Amino acid sequence: MKKVIYLAGPIAGLNKQEGTAWRDAVSYDLSEASNGNIIGISPLRCEPVQPGMKYDEPGAVDKLWSDPRSINAKNWLDTMSSDLVLAYLPKVYNDRRPSIGTLIEIGWTIGLNKPLIVVSDDNQLLDHPLIKCNAAWRLNKLEDAVEVIIGLFGDYVS
């Protein structure tokens, strides 16, 4: 049985490279380590951004996917359907614009009683009492998160 990891993290204010590079790398690493049985799901999988634009700029993403209700429905579906949520909140992006959507997804994850990994180089975020109490893992590197995910689900999918 395949396992699905929702890759939550900043989108607004980011360009394609910033929004997808880490998600693509984690998805690849999970797939390679599990013979394709652990899947990383990106919220950007059906949101191609126009070249040179940021995701939240008007006209950057097809209107089918850029409506607030569409974004909410897709992200809720992804959070609800996943086996674990990996929330990546790098300080450089949070300093630019806090990822409010990711924080809401963290709340959904907690409410759904799903395992949560939070990865950040922002110790203030990692030391927040609600993150400390609700994230099963608080890590500084995505590579460590991949190792945890493989350790958790590897036997289930092999």
- Summarised one tens digit per residue, pLDDT across range 22-43 is 999 999 999 999 999 999 999 9
HSE-up of residue 50 (Cα within 13 Å, Cβ side): 10
Helix/strand/coil for 45: coil
Contact 19, 10 (CB under 8 A): yes
The CA distance from 62 to 96, in Å, is 24
The CA distance from 20 to 3, in Å, is 20
Tell me: the pLDDT tens digits for 51-87? 888 878 787 777 877 788 988 999 999 999 999 999 9
Residue 10 has pLDDT above 80, yes or no: yes
What integer is the mean pLDDT of 131-153? 98
Tell me: the pLDDT tens digits for 84-128? 999 999 999 999 999 999 999 999 999 999 999 999 999 999 999
Q: Tell me what pLDDT residue 53 has.
A: 80
Contact 31, 39 (CB under 8 A): yes
Residue 130 has pLDDT above 80, yes or no: yes
The CA distance from 34 to 49, in Å, is 30
Q: Tell me what pLDDT residue 59 has.
A: 77
DSSP string, 111-134: HTT--EEEE-S-HHHHTSHHHHHH
Under DSSP, the state recorded for 2 is -
3-157 folds as: Rossmann fold (3.40.50)
Q: Tell me what pLDDT residue 54 has.
A: 81
